Amino acid sequence: MSDRIQGLARRALTHLQAGTTDQANDILQLPVAMYTDPQRYSREVQRVFRELPIAVALSLELPEPGSYKAMNLMDVPLLLVRGEDRVVRAFLNVCRHRGAQVCAEGGGKARVFACPYHAWVYNHHGELAGRYAADTFGDIDASQYGLVSLPCAEKSGVVFAMVSPHRTFDIDQWLGDFAQEIGTLDLSSWHLFEQRDLPGPGWKVTMDGYLEAYHHNIVHGRTVGQFTIGNLLVLDTWGPHQRLTFGRKSLPELANQPEEAWRPDVHVRLIHNCFPNLSISGILGDHCLVSQVFPGKTPDTTITRQSVLSAKKPETEAELAATRTFSAMTLQAVQDEDYVLGFSIQKAILSGANDHFLIGRNEPAVQNYHRWVAYFTRSNAGAEW
């Protein structure tokens, strides 16, 4: 086992024995308007979700040349295609003739993409490759009428894109050394067992829940809280990107073992949060939950795309049962526990009971996330990437 996991387990065990946790320097006050103001929300979504790279898919969803995925993200029709050169490209899924969506939402494999309205045909590079009855339509310069390209890059098993055309980003600069950290998960080799979209509360209410262990024993006692220690967090940051380490309930066993005998991966749980919308959580054994959070039309709505991964395709009845159990548990933990509470916050948030929220010292990852949101919103920092 790597020295990296050994060190994380050591830090978590030290906190457990001392009754401590990683902490921020002070309590952070956030005005409630940061969660509710429509103008602020519109500005933040533009700066953070439209002008920065976001996680739009997993590499394993586009396994071979010709693989594609079409989806609507934040009212942007998006088409991802892996070309014959194995490069993933992103396009606006909009025909350049009369604006119909070229490809129905979903995924699969296709040789070309033909618009269902007038059969204009596009290849994997987004180039206009053919037109129905072109000789009667009239002459056009086909090179000027390819699908509109979006900035896109694939790194560490994740496909990143910027949903604003005519921009660029450097994925190595954006992720920095965090790319190597995500790379340790070897996401491309996992099996996608199930994927679902969950309606959720507002973007910030939703993300706050992914970034702290303070609530785990209280909210998740019947699900993931059975396996993790509440209010114990080891935090590492790479600018806006973060790795959260939780202790599993078995962590105390390490205190009675020499370090050379440790199997530290059994006793800690890692959550990788790639700013602004990706959470990768390894919870039980050979299973992993990937969550992509996308803001909705209003400050009180989101869509979360949950991808349930298994280390390999489950084949035996025992393997299928274990994976189904994991999938059901994660769905319950998020939909029936976290999001039920989140919706209750949204219902009460305009009551006037609070003019600000408190983010505790024991919630340092939440504090770090909000500070980076503020940074990208108030500056032109997105241009740096």
Structure confidence by residue, pLDDT tens digits, 34-44: 999 999 999 99
Task: Tell me the pLDDT band of 166, cut-offs 50, 70 and 90.
Answer: confident
Judge whether 300 lies within some domain: yes
Tell me which amino acid residue 119 is. A
Task: Tell me the pLDDT band of 1, cut-offs 50, 70 and 90.
Answer: very low
Structure confidence by residue, pLDDT tens digits, 345-359: 999 999 999 999 999
In a shared domain, residues 212 and 320: yes
In a shared domain, residues 221 and 305: yes
Residue numbers of the domain that contains 89: 55-168
Q: Looking at residue 115, which CATH number applies to its domain?
A: 2.102.10.10
Q: Looking at 139, 168, 197, which one is the last position of a domain? A: 168
pLDDT of residue 226: 87
Q: Is residue 282 pLDDT above 90, yes or no?
A: no
Q: Looking at residue 10, which CATH number applies to its domain?
A: 3.90.380.10
In a shared domain, residues 207 and 161: no
Per-chain mean pLDDT for the chain: 95
E strands within the chain?
28-31, 54-58, 67-73, 76-82, 88-92, 106-109, 113-114, 121-122, 128-130, 149-150, 152-155, 158-161, 191-200, 228-238, 241-248, 268-274, 278-282, 287-295, 302-310, 356-359
Structure confidence by residue, pLDDT tens digits, 193-246: 999 999 999 999 999 999 999 999 999 988 888 889 999 999 999 999 999 999
Average pLDDT on 246-257 reads 95
For CA atoms 89, 92, 93, 98, give the dihedral sign: negative
DSSP letters for 33-85 = HHHH-HHHHHHHIIIIIISS-EEEEEGGGS-STTEEEEEEETTEEEEEEE-TT
Judge whether 264 lies within some domain: yes
In a shared domain, residues 156 and 224: no
Q: Looking at 168, 197, 229, which one is the last position of a domain? A: 168
**Counted domains in the chain:** 2
Structure confidence by residue, pLDDT tens digits, 8-44: 999 999 999 999 999 999 999 999 999 999 999 999 9
Task: Tell me the pLDDT band of 273, cut-offs 50, 70 and 90.
Answer: very high
Q: Calculate Rg over the CA atoms of the chain.
A: 22
Judge whether 162 lies within some domain: yes
In a shared domain, residues 99 and 11: no
Q: Is residue 285 pLDDT above 90, yes or no?
A: no
In a shared domain, residues 106 and 215: no
Structure confidence by residue, pLDDT tens digits, 100-128: 999 999 999 999 999 999 999 999 999 99
Average pLDDT on 288-302 reads 97
